[in-house]
Structure 1
């Protein structure tokens, strides 16, 4: 039963996190300076005006799935200190891209926080469920 709880928490973290991040991206869009409604879907950063299309960070979806699984797994294993390593790796890995395109900063922060929140909740729910078994 413990293995099923572990696998379920990890799978739930990956799937729910993806859905939550997409929802938060849709809710967090701001209006363009010209008053036009924001683009939908979370596929382009629209927070700051730019003179052309903004390239979205590549690999973000897969990185998000992997980081949620890592965070949830660390919590389930009782190694919550590893969460700091995931946060550091993500920040350092994207540092140069965020510096060269500041319009992506808000999108990066919103997506990361939503993702980490879901991963943490799934991890702690898994720990709680294992305590019931």
Structure 2
């Protein structure tokens, strides 16, 4: 294969999967959060055995504003960290995100904390999967 074509194809794969990982992660995270906040049937016991209602993972979105933009930047940073071989970048991203949100999470309900944790895990896993796929595809040629 022509070296210039190979480089162009690798760049296209990296850019395409970076865009997919960054932008399609938002609907995926929202889907995961909806599934995690699924209503229990009437009379069903909660995880601690009680009948109380869920604190509302979806309702906590008003308390954690800016989550969409933070998620986009988080996925892009995780994707770039993995592809560049800087695995410590993932720790930096998660530490900055956790420290920045700490005051909000401490002052709110457990629904906000659950939303933060579930959303972060889903977001990072999706970005990591896209980076792994890009790494694998670019290594094929």
TM > 0.5: yes
Residue of structure 2 in register with 1:108 after alignment: 116
RMSD: 2.2
Alignment TM-score, normalising by the size of structure 2: 0.77
Residue of structure 2 in register with 1:68 after alignment: 75
Q: CA deviation at 1:47?
A: 3.5
The structure 1 segments of at least 4 consecutive aligned residues displaced by more than 2 Å after TM superposition are: 53-56
Given that 1:68 and 1:116 are in contact with CA atoms closer than 8 Å, whether structure 2 keeps it comes out as yes
Residue of structure 1 in register with 2:63 after alignment: 56
Alignment TM-score, normalising by the size of structure 1: 0.81
Structure 2 unaligned segments of length 5 or more: list them: 1-8, 44-52
Q: Which has the larger radius of gyration?
A: 2
Q: Aligned residue pairs: how many? A: 120
The C-alpha deviation readout for 1:8-36, integer Å capped at 9, x for no partner, is: 1210101221121011011111437xx49
Distance in 1 separating the partners of 2:124 and 2:54? 21
